[in-house]
Amino acid sequence: MSDGQVFYEDVQTGDSLPALAVTVDERQLFFFSAATYNGHRIHYDKDWARDVEGYDNVIVQGPLQAALLARAITDWIGGRGRLVEYAVQNRAIAFAGEELTFTGVVTGKRLADDTGLVDLDITGRRGDTVLMPGTATVALPRRENRS
Amino acid sequence: MSEQSLIDAESASRVGTVAATATGEVNRRDWQRWATAVDDHNPLWFDTEYARAQGYRDIICPPLFLQYAVLGVTTLDGLRPDGSSGAVSGSLAFPRAPRRMAGGESTQFFGPAYHRDEIEMVRTIKSIVEKQGRSGRFVLVTWQTVYRNQRDELVAAATTSMIARP
């Protein structure tokens, strides 16, 4: 994950981030709800999810999808990269047990006050269905500044 | 014939006001529990020596965890029937649109947060609008939130939204 630091100069528009594939199970839903103080029943109470809110199963927290998508970015940018801006939308729900894929593609790069900024389109998907589209900006180290 | 708005007058009157303020201490055990729940083993969150080698003074809080460092507590009796606490939304409730889900979030991060940093959050209700989606009407609520540390440095600024449906 962090052994191969990516540098600003190495990145080109159109480059893809390594995809992160995750199948969230009910244990992970539970621990994420616990870690975020989220008592919403739709993440652990199947009867409530189905009978009251109309879902077929317990659903993956939107913030967990967002955290997984951010993880795909922070894994890629390495220890000297920095997440500067992060924006996502919850477009569709995901159920426990479904394989989700978190990806990103470089849409541009620019220097701002000598900082190398890289813009990304990021997406959480289930198959062809986009669950969570978004954008992010990261700061990457520059090769000439390497100490 | 017009349909009744999903937005009650009391909620509508709160646009522009502070929905919530909170303070909390950033805690490495809490963020490490969060990171582990995400299966995110980035050494910046766990390994002091590694973090120092990257230029930080210690391990840092994962940026997306910051929002949870200021969460308060809710009594069991104070929970909504759906189990949610209302802490996130500043207790906005829509009797005509009780089903709620997170809409989206957009956050700028200005600097790292460290273990035992004291964070102050101020959240303002930016807008409450009714929209028509593929599966019917819903209410979109947008908040603006700023996070400052004990040195009054801006750590993050976020726009978040929630969807409430009938």
Domains of chain A are: 8-145 (3.10.129.10)
Residue B128 lies in a domain: yes
Cβ separation B33–A63 shorter than 8 A: no
pLDDT at A90 (0 to 100): 87
Residue A115 contacts B, CB cutoff 8 Å: no
Task: Identify the sign of the CA torsion A129, A133, A138, A142.
Answer: positive
pLDDT at B1 (0 to 100): 43
pLDDT at B91 (0 to 100): 60
Mark which residues 90-119 of B lie under 8 Å from A by CB: 99-109
Residue B110 lies in a domain: yes
* CA distance linking residue B10 with residue B93, whole number of Å: 10
Residue A57 contacts B, CB cutoff 8 Å: no
Residue B35 lies in a domain: yes
Most confident of the ranges A12-16, A88-92, B18-22, B127-131: A12-16
Among the partner residues B44, B63, B103, nearest to A89 by beta-carbon distance: B103
The alpha carbon of residue B5 is apart from the nearest alpha carbon of chain A, in Å, by 21
Instruction: Read off the pLDDT of residues A104-146 as tens digits, 9 standing for 90 and up.
Output: 999 999 999 889 999 999 999 999 999 999 999 999 999 975 5
Cβ separation B64–A22 shorter than 8 A: no
* Residue range of the domain that includes B92: 9-165
Q: Give the CATH number, domain containing residue B91.
A: 3.10.129.10
Direct distance between the N- and C-terminal alpha carbons of chain A, in angstroms, rounded to an integer: 21
Cβ separation A80–B68 shorter than 8 A: no
* Interface ipTM: 0.94
Report the mean per-residue pLDDT for chain A: 94
Residue B118 lies in a domain: yes
Chain A residues in contact with B51 by the CB 8 A cut-off are 79
Residue B1 lies in a domain: no
Residue B97 lies in a domain: yes
Strand order in the sheet with B136-148: A20-23, A99-112, A115-126, A129-140, A82-89, B99-109, B154-165, B136-148, B118-133, B18-25
pLDDT at A115 (0 to 100): 93
Residue B105 lies in a domain: yes
pLDDT at B69 (0 to 100): 95
Residue B57 contacts A, CB cutoff 8 Å: no
pLDDT at B9 (0 to 100): 86
| E strands, B63-135, in order | 99-109, 118-133
Look up residue A18 and give its DSSP letter: P
Q: What are phi and psi of A37, to 5 degrees?
A: 55, 50
Residue B1 contacts A, CB cutoff 8 Å: no
User: In terms of CA atoms, which chain B residue is nearest residue A84?
Assistant: B109
pLDDT at A8 (0 to 100): 97
Residues A95, A129: contact at Cβ < 8 Å? no
Domain count, chain B: 1
* CA distance linking residue B112 with residue B117, whole number of Å: 10
Residue B39 contacts A, CB cutoff 8 Å: yes
pTM to 2 decimal places: 0.88
Residue B3 lies in a domain: no
pLDDT at A2 (0 to 100): 44
Q: What is the pLDDT along chain B (166 residues), one digit of tens a residue?
A: 457 889 888 888 899 999 889 999 999 999 999 999 999 999 999 999 999 999 999 999 999 999 999 998 889 999 999 998 865 555 677 888 888 777 788 999 999 999 999 999 999 999 999 999 888 999 999 999 999 999 999 999 999 888 888 8
